[in-house]
Amino acid sequence: MAQCVQSVQEFIQDSFVPLVAALCSEEAERLTRRNNLSFAELVRPFCRLTSEVHMRDPNNQLHIIKNLKIAVNNIVTHPPQPGAIRKLLNDVVSVSQPAEGLVANVITAGDYDLNISDRSVKASVPWYSNWKETLMELNTSTFYSATTPWFESYRECFLQSMPASDHEFLNHYVACMLVVSSSEPEPVEQFLKLSQEQHRIQHSSEYSYPKWFIPNTLKYYVLLHDVSTGEEQRADSIYEEMKQRYGTQGCYLLKINSRVSNRGTDEQIPDPWSQYLQKNTIQNQDCYEDYTAVSSKNTDHLISDGLDSEIKDGLSNNFKTHPLQLDHPSGSLDSVDSMKAAASSQDSKKSNSGTPHGACLTLTDHDRIRQFIQEFTFRGLLPHIEKTIRQLNDQLISRKGLSRSLFSATKKWFSGSKVPEKSINELKNTSGLLYPPEAPELQIRKMADLCFLVQHYELAYSCYHTAKKDFLNDQAMLYAAGALEMAAVSAFLQPGAPRPYPAHYMETAIQTYRDICKNMVLAERCVLLSAEILKSQSKYSEAAALLIRLTSEDSDLRSALLLEQAAHCFINMKSPMVRKFAFHMILAGHRFSKAGQKKHALRCYCQAMQVYKGKGWSLAEDHINFTIGRQSFTLRQLDNAVSAFRHILINDSKQPPAQQGAFLREYLYVYKNATQLSPDGPLPQLPLPYINSSATRVFFGHDRRPAEGEKQAATHISLDQEYDSESSQQWKELEEQVVSVINKGTIPSNFQPTQFCLNRYSDNSKFPLAVIEEPITVEVSFRNPLKVPLLLTDLSLLWKFQPKDFNAKHDGETKEQGMCDEDMVGTEAIAEFLINSEETKVARLKLFPHQTGELHILGVVYNLGTVQGAVTLDGIDPSIGLQSGKFVSNGLSVRGRQDLEIQGPRLNNTKEEKTSIKYGPDRRLDPIITEEMPLLEVFFINFPTGLLCGEIRKAYVEFVNVSKCPLTALKVVSKHPEFFTFGGNTAALTPLSPSASENCSAYKTVVTDPTSVRTALLSSASSADFGVGTGGSPEVIQVPLPDAVLLPGASVQLPMWLRGPDEEGVHEINFLFYYESIKRHSKMCHRVLRHTAVICTSRSLHIRATVCRSNALGDEEGRGDNMLVFVDVENINTSETGVKEFHIVQVSSNSKHWKLQKSVNISGDKENYTFADIVFGNEQAYVVEDNKQLILEGQHHVALNTVGKEAFSFPQKQGFKKIFGNSDWEDLEQELPETVLLKFFRPENTPVPARPTPEQLSNLIKTSLHYPESFNHSFHQKSLCLVPVTLLLSNCSQAVVDVLIDLRHKPTSSEALEIHGSFTWLGQTQYKLQLKGQEVYSLQLKACFVHTGVYNLGTPRVFAKLADQVTLFETSQQNSMPALIIINNI
């Protein structure tokens, strides 16, 4: 149970106190009413004695009473109605709520920190190793302990409001105060009247209520004197007369109202009454008269004496017209009754707290009242109780002398004949048994109760124990249960604890009350007492079981309170049972909800949520959050409700689609109500759909135009393309290359690579640049985590803009988005955006900046709604009612926003950044809008998608300036400059019309030698134009624009020669077009346009060329050192392309040092390349396609770097010699490889290496093995098999060669170990020989085998060297083929 303010002893003593009735005259009541108090209320704060009291027990032993409290009540002659009691208890619990703003009560249990307060927001925390010590410390600390004041208020009110019963005397009146005012004409007569009235109430049969302890009730006469208005002398004389008549022990003169009613005094008098009056007492019956009429259905059996066997109602909730009963017991939380209850409790609070009490009383009057109570107790009440105990004791002792038979006969007379039975469970319901008032058993019980009230627990226990036996013998179960209950309490309260607490007594009493007597009120009292006692003994498990056992369907409020206390028991155990705590708090919250206690229900669910949160129990979390949301909404705590429903939606819910849809509709409804409270407030954050902020992409510029017929627009970049880091790096390098060329080899320090599309992989550390009047597209990735579709309407971007003139010094004001700001930044809205269940979908939203400045994209704003059923969304006007949140597509819609918050990359450069977690900025959503810039569009006409390797094709490229300002300095850069050219110096001779296909040849025939009428082909796109000789590095090419400027709206069309790459396959070739504005801008210096051409090349010719030295041939001038060039041309084309025959038209050379013979004249400048051509024929060939003759022309480039080494027409590194073969081909039915013998001669001497190379030396000796392929041997007769092997050695050179043969197996070769491990060579392991030029030598060897199998005999290693050299070279041919032999067994 929760910690209580009182100790268990104080609680029990205060629960059972002597009751004193107060009967006042009207005049006396009027005097007390001047203080807004009745007489009973006036004395209530002073009813606890401040000093010890002494009295003597029947054995004349002195007994000390400590901290005694009495209760003074007005006489009420009607028993309290059950409905009234329920109403009172409901109000008491409603009014008592946790104090807000105080230090939260935190209990550490295991790995939980539980915040036991109204603000239960904390969740699971890291494990505490010393949680037991922490828990014990907190349990013993009153400051941090979990308290439940509403339960204590309920318990106190419940015990005070218990109706008096005939089977016990604890709440019977012991005495009666008769109060008369001194201002009355005849006070003594008034005393007489009041005395008679009391006698009539007690002894007349017409009054069955209230109950009186003994027939001879103590009457105490009080004369009330108003000091401010009355005559003190008259009061004194009346008091003297009273003392003469009633004795000094039986009367008292109480003077009050000493204070003159003067509002001007500043003296602050304390108000001790307010704390008592807020706990509305049941005795003020007037306020419950309204309930007597409506409760007639269920008040056939009032709880008057508690003996009627038909009473099932206790303080139950069966009361059909209970004012706080829920309309829908199934759990609907929308009942308005709880509102009424809260309102009524608020009204009572106001009435109590708003009225000052004791306004006419001074502190002296307070002391007089306190003195009066002490005098009454010392001189009147306690002597009366002491005398009564003595009388009862004497009666019982004297009756012990009576014969047992007479005693039995008396009992038989009243109870009928009964046979006692042993087990309580088997006892019959005899609660209808009545004892007469003078029955000896009742006298024992009466004496026990009196002793208990004056704290004489030992004597009380003895009497209860005796009475219990008698009642059980008589099977008077109600009486027996009462005796058992009080015997257990007396045993616990005995000083020194002579005997242990008899918990089984309480168990029996509870079972009897509940099951046999059907009296839940008395059972509840038993449970409250016993649980508190068990808790004080740290028996939390037993206490929890007891509390849970009394929960039932008949009273939701009682069940809720007991379940909550049981939960606190679980958390207070030595090993806290946190999950049981949470589970029972949920049960308590549910019962609180049914009882109309919304705030307590919400508090219970919030406390339980601390345990369930973050444990993966999503369904439990959903249920709790849903209930918290509902309860918060009912209590108009809309922010809490929105937060709770938000949690349900944002966690990965495992609920079925229908339930998720219900949650979503509930959330939207609550959200709409919350936003209506502050319609002009900022747009709230919506939880759905999820936004993957890091996946947000920002694109600057217009969308790419589609292809129009033969016109193909530059691919540039678009949001549909996937990010490729390698490609991105290539584009960056190309841009750096062109900027470096423009800036004469250096890259400016403020250079910022152009990024058209920003994403999570791009470098977003700098503010991106956007151009005025060009759209900015933001792609936002939405994910719907629910299994129901979401409908977003009127979806647009939320932004903030600060106008800036980058040429001026002053800045404009910052503007947030509003519909009126369209002149600054235009915003495009998506009317409807449907996201299906569990779908990830991107939305592309556009902004159109109309001014320069700084733009900050903050997030998205939209209406969130649902789609019910399979409603199609076409045809709905999105402008209808979206702002006001009306229904769209049968679903509720609310407006809100979500921010785009992108976390930058983790910094990891400095030591500080590596040791801490720091993130850099991500500025992709903060573009700077710059001044107007030119905008280029490029179109390619007749651009091929497929080429043959080396094929030359002509296309056209069109440049269009679509902006409002001219562009200049147009350049193009590519990693593959050999792929294209705009033509050489003769480009002007080529017609510009794309339609003139017959004039599209790349070659023109020119006369090279007028004397011999020799002709050659002059190329419009020469090898130099194709970027040959650049070594593969990007080359910046100036685009030949007329006047070097492209005006706004103008277009220019230029021819472009393309050459198919030498390797077959698919090639991606990147073009980067660079251009600038005529005006220089501070922010943006240049712009670029990207194009990626995809070309598929197929095989054509394969050319192998070899250059060899020639000593036989001399040139025309008789100089030597010439070369022979062998060119092999092979047709490797396949039939798919439709081309089968090629004509070699011309072979050309290009070198600094070499030229083909019979070439054009040599240039005098040796630093330049020399071109030489040999013409094979001048016929043209055609390909017939679509009834048109097309000439396919091509070039193949071969680089010759090394003498004697073959070179191929595939791409080679740059060398000092190159040969270019130009060829024409046509579609004919033959395929012939050709070998052409050409001659190189060298214009100047080049030194030739004299020494033979290691490659030549390794080929001096050729070897071969001669042996039988298979060999049969009988291993049974002879274990060793010997095979003869001949090794032939041939000297291929003219020189003398030294040879070394090594027969040992190589130890490092794993293959040798596997294959040769079982055979060996016999004889010498090494042979040294010398072979003369062209000599062949035969060496006889023997191989020895011990097993059958297949063996490789090729293990001998042969080394050779020239006789005049030192270094040995191993021959390279000897391991080329394995020498396998098969050994068979016969």
Q: What are phi and psi of 652, to 5 degrees?
A: -70, 100
Among 427-436, 1097-1106, 1262-1271, the least confident range: 427-436
Instruction: Give the mean model confidence (pLDDT) for residues 1232-1247.
Output: 42
Q: Which of 314-328, 553-567, 1027-1041, 1358-1372 has the highest mean pLDDT?
A: 553-567
Q: Which distant-in-sequence residues (6+ apart) come within 8 Å of 89 by Cβ?
A: 154, 157, 158, 161, 315, 557
What is the mean pLDDT of the segment spanning 175-195? 92
Judged against a pLDDT cut of 60, whether residue 62 lies above it is answered with: yes
Least confident of 542-556, 1104-1118, 1171-1185, 1313-1327: 1171-1185
- Characterize the bridge pairing of strands 53-56 and 218-226: unpaired
Q: Which residues of 916-928 are buried (b: 16+ CB within 10 A; e: fewer)?
A: eeeeeebbbbbbb
Beta bridge partners of 757: 699
Tell me how long the chain is: 1386
Q: Which of 657-671, 803-817, 1110-1124 has the lowest mean pLDDT?
A: 1110-1124
- What CA–CA distance (Å, rounded) separates 322 from 632? 24
What distance in Å separates the CA atoms of residue 897 and residue 683, rounded to the nearest whole number? 6
Mean pLDDT value across residues 1143-1151: 76
% of the chain exceeding 90 in pLDDT: 24
For residue 1038, what pLDDT band results from cuts at 50, 70 and 90? Answer: confident
pLDDT at residue 488 tops 90: yes
Other C-beta atoms closer than 10 Å to the C-beta of 974 total 21
Of 1029 and 738, the one with more pLDDT: 738
Q: Are 823 and 850 in contact (CB under 8 A)?
A: yes
Q: Cα dist. 708→749, 1018, 1057 in Å?
A: 41, 35, 22
Contacts of 369 (CB under 8 A, 6+ apart): 42, 43, 46, 254, 256
CA distance 319 to 294: 10
CA angle 662, 668, 673 (to 5 degrees): 130
Q: Which helix (H) or strand (E) holds 973?
A: strand 967-974
In the chain, what is the straight-line distance between the N-terminal and C-terminal CA atoms, in Å?
Answer: 100
* 62-64-69 Cα angle (round to 5): 140
Query: Per-residue confidence at 264, pLDDT binned at 50, 70, 90?
Result: very low
What secondary structure letter does DSSP report for 525?
H
Over residues 712-738, the mean pLDDT reads: 82
- Helix, strand or coil for residue 84? helix
Closest CA relative to residue 377, chosen from 386, 367, 365: 386
Alpha carbon separation from 39 to 28, 72, 174, 177, 370 (Å, rounded): 8, 9, 18, 10, 13
Mean predicted confidence (pLDDT) in 82-108: 74
1136, two tokens = 């798919």
Residue 24 has a pLDDT of 94
d(CA 1071, CA 981): 12
pLDDT at 198 over 80: yes
Q: What is the pLDDT of residue 1116?
A: 46
pLDDT level of residue 525 (50, 70, 90 thresholds): very high
- Report the range out of 28-37, 404-413, 747-756 with the highest average pLDDT: 28-37
> Dihedral, CA atoms, 1062, 1063, 1064, 1065, nearest 10 degrees?
-120
Closest to 1226 in 3D by CA, of 948, 932, 826: 948
- What is the C-alpha separation between 322 and 596, in angstroms, rounded? 11
pLDDT exceeds cutoff 80 at 809: no
Provide the pLDDT for residue 399. 72
- Residues 674-694, mean pLDDT to the nearest whole number: 83
Average pLDDT over residues 165-193: 91
Alpha carbon 1312 to its chain centroid, in Å, reads 64
In this structure, of 218-232, 812-826, 891-905, 1152-1166, the range with the lowest mean pLDDT score is 1152-1166
Please determine, for residue 886, whether its predicted confidence score (pLDDT) is greater than 60: no
Strand partners, 1208: 1104
The confidence score (pLDDT) of residue 46 equals 92
Please say whether the beta carbons of 256 and 31 come within 8 A.
yes
- Residue 1172 scores a pLDDT above 70: no
pLDDT tier, 528 (very low <50, low <70, confident <90, very high otherwise) = very high
CA distance linking residue 864 with residue 689, whole number of Å: 9
Kindly write down the DSSP assignment for every residue of 15-34, as one continuous string: HS--EEEEEE-HHHHHHHHT
User: pLDDT class for 369, splitting at 50, 70, 90?
Assistant: very high
Distance CA 558, CA 561 (A): 5
Task: Report d(CA 447, CA 425) in Å as an integer.
Answer: 29
Q: How many CA atoms lie within 13 A of 1000 on its CB side?
A: 23
CB atoms within 10 A of CB 1164: 6
H helix or E strand, kind and range, residue 139 = helix 131-140
The rounded distance, in Å, linking the Cα atoms of 924 and 694 is: 10
User: Which DSSP category does 811 fall into?
Assistant: B
Q: What is the mean pLDDT of residues 810-834?
A: 70
What is the pLDDT confidence band of residue 1137, given thresholds at 50, 70 and 90? low
Closest residue by Cα to residue 643 from 622, 662, 624, 629 = 629
Report, as an integer, the average pLDDT of 538-548: 93
Q: Picking from 152-166, 758-772, 987-1001, which range would have the lowest pLDDT averaged per residue?
A: 987-1001
Amino acid in the structure at residue 74: N
Whether 878 has a pLDDT exceeding 60, the answer reads no
Q: What is residue 382's predicted lDDT score, i.e. its pLDDT?
A: 92
Question: Do 1059 and 978 meet the contact criterion of CB atoms below 8 Å apart?
Answer: yes
Higher pLDDT, 724 or 234: 234
Nearest to 568 by CA among 156, 118, 116, 153: 116
pLDDT of residue 618: 80
Three-state secondary structure call for residue 365: helix
Which has the higher per-residue pLDDT, 1096 or 1314? 1096
* Contacts within 8 Å (CB) and 24+ apart, 717-726: 717/756, 717/757, 717/1090, 718/757, 719/757, 719/777, 719/779, 719/844, 721/757, 723/757, 723/759, 723/761, 723/762, 725/761
d(CA 1002, CA 1015): 16
| Alpha-carbon gap, residue 491 to 465, rounded angstroms | 10
Least confident among 134-138, 659-663, 1029-1033, 1081-1085? 134-138
Closest CA to 1144 of 1226, 1062, 1260: 1226
Q: Picking from 16-20, 201-205, 564-568, which range would have the lowest pLDDT averaged per residue?
A: 201-205
Give residue 205's pLDDT. Answer: 82
How far apart are alpha carbons 778 and 843 in whole angstroms? 8
Cβ atoms of residues 1332 and 1355 within 8 Å? no
| Residue type, position 414, single letter | F
Residue with tokens 């017929």: 709
Model confidence band, residue 105 (pLDDT cutoffs 50, 70, 90): low
Question: What's the whole-number mean pLDDT along residues 546-564?
Answer: 92
149-153, 218-222, 398-402, 849-853 — which is least confidently predicted?
Answer: 398-402
Q: Which residue has the higher pLDDT, 1267 or 280?
A: 1267
pLDDT average, residue stretch 1136-1141: 61
CA angle 703/705/711 to nearest 5° reads: 160
Binned at pLDDT 50, 70 and 90, residue 625 comes out as: confident
Q: Give dist(CA 227, CA 232) in Å, integer.
A: 7
- Which of 30-44, 252-266, 1142-1156, 1364-1378 ranks highest by mean pLDDT? 30-44
Tell me the C-alpha distance between 604 and 610, whole Å.
Answer: 10
- Name the band, by pLDDT with cuts 50, 70 and 90, for residue 1103: confident
Give me the DSSP letters along 156-193: HHHHHTPPP-TT--TTSEEEEEEEEETTSS-HHHHHHH
pLDDT at 1165: 38
* pLDDT value of residue 713: 83
**1142 — pLDDT class (breaks 50, 70, 90):** confident
Contacts of 562 by beta carbon, 8 Å cutoff, 6+ apart = 527, 547, 548, 550, 551
Q: Rounded distance, CA 338 to CA 1053, Å?
A: 83
Tokens 């941090």 identify what position?
A: 144
Q: Residue 1241's pLDDT is what? A: 47
pLDDT band for 193, please (50, 70, 90 cuts).
very high
Assess whether pLDDT exceeds 70 at residue 430. no
Q: CA dist 507 to 419, 446, 540, 547, 1031, Å?
A: 24, 23, 16, 12, 102
pLDDT value, residue 920: 83
As a whole number, the mean pLDDT across the chain is: 75
Dump pLDDT digits (tens) for 1062-1082.
888 898 888 899 999 888 877
Statement: residue 1258 has pLDDT above 80: no
Nearest one of 843, 836, 833 to 784, comparing CA atoms: 836
Instruction: Name the 3-class secondary structure at 1014.
Output: strand
Give the three-state DSSP class for 196.
helix
